[in-house]
Amino acid sequence: MALQCGIVGLPNVGKSTLFNCLSNAKAQSANFPFCTIEPNVGVITVPDERLVKLEELVKPQRVVPTTVEIVDIAGLVKGASKGEGLGNKFLANIRETDAIIHVLRCFDDDNVTHVDGSIDPVRDKEIIDLELQFKDLETVEARLQKTEKAAKASKDQDAKKLVEVLYRYKEAFENGKSARTVELTEHEQKVTKDLYLLTNKPVMYVCNVDESSVVDGNQHVEAVREAVKDENAEILIIAAKTESEIAELETFEERQEFLEDMGLKESGVSKLIRSAYKLLNLQTYFTAGVKEVRAWTFHKGFCAPQAAGVIHTDFEKGFIRAEVIKYDTFVELGSELACKEAGKMSVEGKEYVVQDGDIMHFRFNV
> Is residue 147 a contact partner of residue 163, using CB atoms and an 8 Å limit?
yes
> Is residue 120 a contact partner of residue 24, using CB atoms and an 8 Å limit?
no
- Extract the annotated binding site for ATP: 12-17
> Is residue 339 a contact partner of residue 330, using CB atoms and an 8 Å limit?
yes
| Cα 125 from Cα 9, distance rounded (Å) | 8
Amino acid at 84: E
| Cα 129 from Cα 138, distance rounded (Å) | 14
- Extract the annotated binding site: 12-17
- Contacts for 312 with CB less than 8 Å, ≥ 6 apart: none
| Cα 322 from Cα 299, distance rounded (Å) | 17
251: exposed, middle or buried (Cβ count in 10 Å: 0-12, 13-18, 19+)? exposed
| CA-closest candidate to residue 71, choices 105, 94, 48 | 94
| Cα 217 from Cα 244, distance rounded (Å) | 19
